[in-house]
Structure 1
Amino acid sequence: MSVAQTEAFFGADSPLRLASSTKAGFSYEPRPQQVAMAKAVAEALDDGANLCVEAPTGVGKTFAYLVPAYYYALATGKPVVVSTHTINLQEQIIGRDIPLLERMLDVEIRAEVAKGRGNYLCLRRLNQLADMDQTLLPDDSILGELGRLLRWAEKTSNGDRGDFPGGLSPVLWSSVCCERGTCTNKQCTFYRSCFLMKVRRSVHQAQIVVANHALFFSALAMSNDDGVSGCADPEQVSDSILPDYSAVILDEGHTLEDCAASHLGLRADTFVILRLLGRLYSDERKTGMLMAESAAPARAAVSDCRRRAVLFFQRLNDWLADQRQNPLRYTVPGHINNYLAEPLRRLDYELRQLIQREDDQSTKQELTAAADELKDQCAALDSFFTMELPEYVYWFERQGRDGQDISFNVVPVDVAPIMRGMLFSRPPVIITSATLAVDGNIGYFQHRLGAEEARTLILDTPFDFSRQVTLHICNHMPDPRAAAEAFQEEAAKYIQHYLRLTHGRAFVLFTSYNMMHEIAMRLEDFCAEEHLTMMIQGEGMTPRKMLESFKQTEGAVILGTASFWTGVDVPGDALSNVIITRLPFAVPDHPLSAARTEKAEREGRNSFFEYSLPDAVLKFRQGFGRLIRTKDDTGIVVILDSRIVTKRYGRVFLNSIPACPVEMF
């Protein structure tokens, strides 16, 4: 279906050549890697096969999959879903790549971004809240926000929270956003003007649907529960996230394992539970959904549940603080009594009784949605404390600004069996990333994800690394594990040397916040003396704001952890130096890493060589790849971890990056 058209697009008379000659600002150079990838994607789509493609930066992989995806969507009459990990890539595909492809083909491509329903304003819920006695609002500060929200609702064309100017309290938004279970569909007074319904119709009529991995795996989990792969009817918004698609393309595929694990498991949150109880009834303000006289038993159940929840969560928080480890793994079923199990079940009973007696359809749905969400939280808590799911790992994590919120995580240790059944059994699935291979082999990635039967393709880099990069390796550093203090002292000295050499314009990449802050303190005076602007992840700016500021600031230095190893793009002279402080082995005591290691050892496999090492190599390749983004970029990569040359396994890291000149120091 799409192979011949794809080959013609990238052939001698390619529209790319014509666009390059006629469109200002667009330059096309034939890239055999791009042609090879496009053909492989088209063949996999036509054959109904799964495919894993490693496509280094500069290959032009988005065009290599968008062209065959468009032709395949035309042929099948069903959309192709393109899922990414980062917002930046989504925006590039929707805002630049697809419009450019439209101009080249002289066609209109129906492309839409799919977002979760919670991103959209529900006009029925907003008006219901506005019609309340204002004294019944859950918080005095919400009154001003409600006024701004009402004025925005009259002007917005899409009701997308992301377009709301300024901040908005989570409590207010949770009361007015579209939620699963609250939609009355065609019975709703606002059905014709419903923002969610409009966007869902557009998504269901699209040829290319752009989503993120979190949404995709949430939809996959939901479709598995329902026994369907997608929803063919856009009117069924309460149960539908993505339409019935013909194929899925998963870009930034190196993030898939952890994304799948987090969204195919279970999770309960103290913040969510307390927020839901507050929506039902607030003892202090005498407000909420349960104000009717007939709701007295349910109100009493909420009050009892809240008292117990506040006490239980506070005691848990005090205990977790004493453990001095966050996240903290939970390993003994029933070690902690779930004191909320019975109160939540009693509350659920009272809510169901009330719902049965309720005549108002709108109120009935609001109560049902709240009851269902509380029931899901209760089920996740039960699974957590009883550890009822085998081959899952369980951990507490303290979160929020003051660390007072707790999440209870139930995550599959190995996603491969789940993914084989839920995803790869319904091809075609195309996975691509700049880093899928370890020492020239994609087998590790396929095994971790359950994609062993997929076709594979590894493409060469189109860049000249021997000219563009010099690799600097320290061969005499203290071991960062055995002598952390000495390592940090030496690392700070070398970081200063190389920052002076490039006058900033550098990423300094860390594997832990603790080491990052320790070295940041050692660099403060130096950066001030050298007139360098040091930006530290987690101190005031989001990673996205940091990146924007970095690009605009002369002599800038970013000290970052995981967010800056992958998914950030700084072409040109602004970034000329990437300093890798430590090889990015996963923190061995993180619950998920520890559980994966234990599983490998139980099965008689070498956990270091079969899990820890290849996982670290893929992350290392991502960090190395931050430097060269175009054929004109040049710079240095500095590695301060001597294990890359002193340990036998270090050769695997070096064999997995392009050959370039090496200077030892």
Structure 2
Amino acid sequence: MVKDIVFFDIETVGSECSQGRIVQLSALRVREGLIHESCCYSYQPIDSEEPGRQDYSHRNIDFTNDNWLAKHRQEIINFMSEAVLVGHEAHLFLTILQRELNLHFLQPFWDTSELARIFFPTLHHYQLDFLAEKLSLPLRKEEEQLLIEEKTWLTWKLYEACWEKGLKFDLSFFNQANGFIAEWTGKGFFEDLQREIIRTFPERPIRTDLVLSPSSEGLFSVEKSFTVRIPDSTDWVVENFAPGGNLEQNIPSYESRSGQMKMAKLIAKGFSSSQHVVVEAGTGTGKSFAYLIPSLWSAKKTGHKVVVATHTIPLQEQLQKKDIPILEAVLPFPFKASVLKGKSNYFCIKKWQGCLGNRENVGMQQKLAVLTILVWVRETLTGDFQELSKVPGLMELWPNINADNDMCIPGRCSKAGVCFLLRARKKAEESDVLIVNHSLLFSDLKTDYNVLPEYHYLVLDEAHQIYQTALQHLGSELCLENVTRAVDSIYRSTGLSFYSSTKQRLGSLENLVPSVPWEIFNKRLDGIPENSVSVLKQTKELFDLLSLILGSERTFRFIAQHTTRQWWEGLNVQIENLTGRIKALLSILDSLASVLSEDDADEVEDLKYAISSHQRELQEYVETLKLAINLNNPKQVTWLEQSSRLFLKTSPIDVSDTLREKIFSRLNSVIMTSATLSISDSFEHFLQDIGLPRSTITAQVDSPFDYEQQMQLIIVKNGIRLLDSKGQKAPELADFIAEVAERMHGRTLVLFTSHAMLRQTYEYLNPLLVRTKIQSLAQGIQGERSSLLEAFKRNPRSVLLGANSFWEGIDIPGDTLSCVIVVKLPFWPPTLPLIEARSEYLKSQGKDPFRELLLPEAVIRFKQGFGRLIRSKEDRGIVILLDDRVIEKYYGRFFLGSLPIKTHVRGENKLVFRKIEEYTSHLG
């Protein structure tokens, strides 16, 4: 490159960066890879004792009308003239800089945050300091410390890292990218890079085929050539965990734990004697190894696959990327383990090629996401969506390029040889242990075992979730958007659909397969447009009525008494009309299939497969509508639910029979484990829910952590629960959280049971925390779970407010999290449609819904929330419960009796604050 580049960074103060005022501007002018000159302008407060670099993070600066930077306007213009401007978040920085200098820079500018997202697509976070660490960017030289601000230097080095990686790309990368960069401010970077490659590497060939990462030698590494005898006795399994055993000898950080040995022994016994086993394993037990080693031993010994099903993606990733590689290194026999996910998680190469050829109607963010994938597809071995950073535009783009396509026949696809989904399925077939999630497990059950390869043994980790997952997957739902998508895939007036693509192919099909009466087929095909439009029109009418029925509520349950309401007859008519119109469209698809039934040519089989996929989806809608109108089944519930869209949902209210029939009766052995399965040392509720007898083998394995020494449980008496109105609760709660956070220096997680209360509390809390320089992070306000957790980890001087999804699956070891505040005992609202229906069903059986349903589920959730604090032997901290029902009500003993700590402190606010100060001073 011959042009100069100015790398720059600004520091602002103010509530929002985009509206903030600049307190520092630093810049670095680089010519032909060398520093040509640098500059740094800093705001100098009047009360400053010394000139030079200032720390503005804790200053409350009042600029009044002092636009100090404007005094350097001409110097800055001269410094930046005739150069490309490069910054990390350059769009934002330039907006602020141009506003304060009252000018508009005309030269090109490139944003290293965008470049990093493109060239390093799997890093997941793109803050400058994070990138510096992950990419090992070179540090400044000692003599340059005073001349160049750190962020400006790192911006330069990050730019160079992107440039160096880009130099290795084949020219087809740029040919494919060029169609997506015309309106992008970073276009010049790609053009310069392409010119440099042509100049420096004139012999580099231009690939015309699909460029993918070179695959490994095989789907699995080659097994050892000699035969290894697999030990017969379960004793071998247990000996691995013993003091001085295999794990202690080969894993430096490993310590033998009696609880882990006990758990592994029970699981090995369950496998070898074909029994089901339930184990509650406290935090820190090491349950992953405790079930993986018996699973691998059993699979190798019997030749029968073991499926391990987790609820959360993080645990799935941990097993695959951390635990399995360790065991590959230390176990005395080779094995095959793999992960299989749902189709929508895998990249589809065929759809990707179609995407590259369709550049119209694609927004700028999606175009940048295309560039990200262009890089990633050259590196990935799995095509797994979870590898990718969730860059802007990706979530909108991914449905168009993933493998979730009903018209796909993987084995017959022209890209079958490089298909990521086929590769994953082949690995799954050949695995000894296959890791899936609960969702895929139930998809397999729902399709009569057509998703997973055959297996006889199952480990259910995070098993406390299994009942809710079963309810979700064994139920059904309908929304306007999903019906529209399904019908659009059959017919749409513009764009690709089954109808349009089949019409285009008819001419060639007549020549290829003359035995089919294509004239009849074509005539029947012509019935699709009118019927498709009719289905969409009727669906919209139905959802307009459902919206009126729901009104301003978030949920509305249909019950038998509603049959006397004025709107009921209209609803029946709407549902009958929609059912009839869907059946009419199904009838056309049936008639098309019958024309093709006698022929088995490949082209005809493709059409049959596409037709059957559409039939299956439409038939599911018919079944949902049929269930929705039947209010006489006491084991079924139907309701409306408004979230991002309006859903009509149906669900069974008792899945124990289904679980018993489809899982426990069919498999040799099922192992269920979680940190939260028992209530006051009893597994009765869990066993009853999932349909297992009381005689099932159960065990509790205590955590190796010393809760009495590592933490303190504080229960606040006469807290916010006693306040009359919600309007009073939010400001009182905010005051309390702010007091705690100041004493804890942030490092606090607050768990809510209500999103509304969370939002109200945040409004009062945020200004209080700003005064003490503590950051507030609130679910649904600053972001969602993953982004908030990362922000919290980066800045421990924070308070994180979370609701439902934050009660479990969060792992923040160390002193980053030192305090958990539980606002209320996590009872489900009894008016939720599914809870209400389950309660009524229990009443009809002569049971108490509170004792049988609401209380047990609240205790399990409470244990999960409590477990967020102590994640390692080094962790220390405090859990504060603001709901004194736990000491005032008879049922409080079930909550306290289910915790691993047996002592607590109780008192009003003043005592609580004093205890916090005593505890934190004790921690030193």
TM-score when scaled to structure 2?
A: 0.65
Aligned to 1:86: 312
Q: Which residue of 2 aligns with 1:226?
A: none
In 2, Cα distance between the equivalents of 1:2 and 1:84?
27
Where does residue 502 of structure 1 map in the other structure? 744
1:212 to 415, 420, 437: 437
* Cα deviation digits, residues 592-634 of structure 1 (max 9, x gap): 1111211121111121122211211111111111111111111
* Residue matched to 1:264: 474
User: Partner residue of 1:49?
Assistant: 275
SS in structure 2 of the partner of residue 249 of structure 1? strand
Say which one has the larger Rg.
Answer: 2
Bigger relative CO (Cα 8 Å, ≥ 6 apart):
1
| Partner residue, 1:372 | 616
Aligned to 2:648: 408
Name the CA distance, whole Å, in 1 between partners of 2:818 and 2:395.
40
Q: Quick one: structure 1 residues 155 and 459, their matched pair in 2 at CA, closer, same or farther if it must change by over 3 Å?
A: closer
Name the CA shift for 1:621/1:103 in 2 (closer, same or farther; >3 Å): same
Note closer, same or farther for the CA distance 1:300–1:574 as it changes in structure 2 (3 Å cut).
same
Q: Tell me the SS of whatever aligns to 2:447.
A: helix
Aligned to 1:341: 579
Kindly indicate whether the alpha-carbon contact (under 8 Å) linking 2:277 and 2:696 is maintained by their aligned counterparts in 1.
Answer: yes
| Partner amino acid, structure 2, of 1:326 | R
1:423 matches 2:663: yes
Percentage identity across aligned positions?
31
Distance in 1 of aligned mates of 2:495 and 2:319: 49
Range 607-616 or range 143-152, more displaced: 143-152
Q: d(CA) in 2 for partners of 1:151 and 1:605?
A: 59
Does 1:352 pair with 2:352?
no
Q: Is 2:322 aligned against 1:112?
A: no
Change (3 A) 1:158 1:387: farther
CA contact (8 A) 1:469 1:660 kept: no
Are 1:433 and 2:661 matched, yes or no?
no
How far residue 194 of structure 1 moved from its aligned partner, in angstroms, is 2.5
Contact 1:85 1:252 in 2 (8 A): yes
Work out whether 1:77 is the aligned partner of 2:306: no
Cα distance, 1:168 vs structure 2: 5.8
Say which SS state the counterpart of residue 376 (structure 1) adopts.
helix
Matched residue type, 1:118: S
**8 Å CA contact retained: 1:383, 1:389:** no
Query: Aligned partners of 2:392, 2:796: CA distance in 1, in Å?
Result: 30
Conservation of the 8 A alpha-carbon contact between 2:241 and 2:257: no
Q: Distance between the aligned counterparts of 1:193 and 1:545, measured in 2?
A: 33
Instruction: Check if 1:158 corresponds to 2:402.
Output: no
Aligned counterpart for 1:451 among listed residues 679, 692, 713: 692
C-alpha separation between the residues in 1 aligned to 2:338 and 2:761? 44
Maintained 8 Å contact 1:327/1:396: yes
Deviation digits for residues 568-589 of structure 1, max 9, x if unmatched?
Answer: 1011000000000000011111
Amino acid aligned to 1:310: K
Give the C-alpha shift of residue 150 in structure 1.
8.0
Deviations 1:642-662 (A, max 9, x none): 111111211221111121342
Give, in angstroms, the shift of residue 191 of structure 1: 2.8
**Within the alignment, does 1:246 sit opposite 2:456 as a pair?**
yes
| Partner residue in 1 for 2:557 | 329
| Alpha-carbon displacement from aligned partner over 1:541-575 (angstroms, at most 9, x marks no partner) | 22012111111103111100111111110110000
Residue aligning to 1:16: 247
CA contact (8 A) 2:796 2:817 kept: no
Which residue identity does 2:382 align to in structure 1? N
- Residue aligning to 1:526: 768
Q: Is the 8 A contact 2:335 2:432 kept in 1?
A: yes
- In 2, the alpha carbon distance for the partners of 1:620 and 1:275 equals 40
Distance 2:398 2:607 in 1: 18
Structure 1 unmatched runs, 5+: 224-229, 231-239
Q: Tell me what 1:660 maps to.
A: 903
Partners of 1:9 and 1:151 lie apart in 2 by: 43
In the alignment, the residues of structure 1 paired with residue 399 and residue 594 of structure 2 have an alpha-carbon distance, to the nearest angstrom, of 24
CA–CA distance in 1 between the matches of 2:234 and 2:793?
40
Alignment-mate amino acid for residue 659 of structure 1? K
Deviation at 1:369, TM superposition (A): 1.7
1:304 pairs with 2:534? yes
In 1, distance between residues paired with 2:378 and 2:321? 26
Q: 1:395 aligns with which of 635, 639, 662?
A: 639
**Aligned equivalent of 1:236:** none
Q: Number of aligned residue pairs: give it.
A: 634
Paired residue secondary structure (1:557): strand
Partner-residue secondary structure (3-state), 2:903: coil
Partner of 2:265: 39
CA deviation profile, 1:346-402 (whole Å, cap 9, x unmatched): 1111223234446654344334322321221222122223347540111112232xx
What secondary structure does 1:290 align onto?
helix
RMSD between aligned alpha carbons?
Answer: 2.7
Which letter maps to 1:411?
S
Indicate how the Cα distance of structure 1 residues 378 and 30 shifts in structure 2: closer, same or farther if over 3 A, else same: same
Q: Scaled by the length of structure 1, what TM-score is found?
A: 0.89
CA offsets per residue over residues 406-461 of structure 1, 9 Å max, x none?
22222111121221111121331111111111111111111112122421001222
Q: Counterparts of 1:568 and 1:218 in 2: how far apart (Å)?
A: 26
User: In 2, distance between residues paired with 1:455 and 1:204?
Assistant: 30
Q: Where does 1:47-196 land on structure 2 (aligned, <5 Å)?
A: 47-105=273-331, 107-124=333-350, 156-163=380-387, 166=391, 174=399, 177-179=402-404, 182-196=407-421
Equivalent residue letter for 1:451: L
Counterpart CA distance in 1 for 2:495 and 2:875 is: 62
In the alignment, residue 39 of structure 1 is paired with which amino acid? K
CA distance in structure 1 between the aligned counterparts of 2:579 and 2:822, rounded to whole angstroms? 47
From the superposition, tell whether residues 550 and 111 of structure 1 become closer, same or farther in structure 2 (CA, over 3 Å): same
1:203–1:209: 8 Å Cα contact kept in structure 2?
A: yes
Residue aligned with 2:671, SS: strand
Offset at 1:289? 2.5
C-alpha separation in 1, matches of 2:464 and 2:531: 46
Residues in 1 aligned to 2:835 and 2:442: alpha-carbon distance in whole angstroms: 21
| C-alpha distance in 2 between matches for 1:631 and 1:54 | 19
2:712 and 2:400 map into 1 onto residues whose CA distance is 55
- SS, match of residue 95 in structure 1: helix
Distance 2:375 2:818 in 1: 47
The question of whether the paired residues in 1 share the 8 Å contact of 2:634 and 2:841 is answered with: no
Please state whether the residue corresponding to 1:189 is helix, strand or coil.
coil
Structure 2: give runs of 5+ residues left out of the alignment. 1-231, 504-521, 597-602, 909-924
Residue 227 of structure 1: aligned partner: none
CA contact (8 A) 1:480 1:582 kept: no
**In structure 2, do the counterparts of structure 1 residues 208 and 419 end up closer, same or farther at CA, with 3 Å as the change threshold?**
same
> Deviation digits for residues 83-137 of structure 1, max 9, x if unmatched?
1111111111111111111222254431111111232344455557878xx69x9
> Is the Cα contact below 8 Å between 2:554 and 2:643 reproduced in 1?
no
User: Could you tell me whether the CA contact under 8 Å between 2:407 and 2:613 is conserved in 1?
Assistant: yes
**2:543 corresponding residue in structure 1:** 313
2 CA distance for matches of 1:629 and 1:286?
52
Post-superposition offset of 1:313 = 2.0
Give the direction of change, closer, same or farther, for the CA distance of 1:140–1:347 in structure 2 (3 Å limit).
Answer: farther
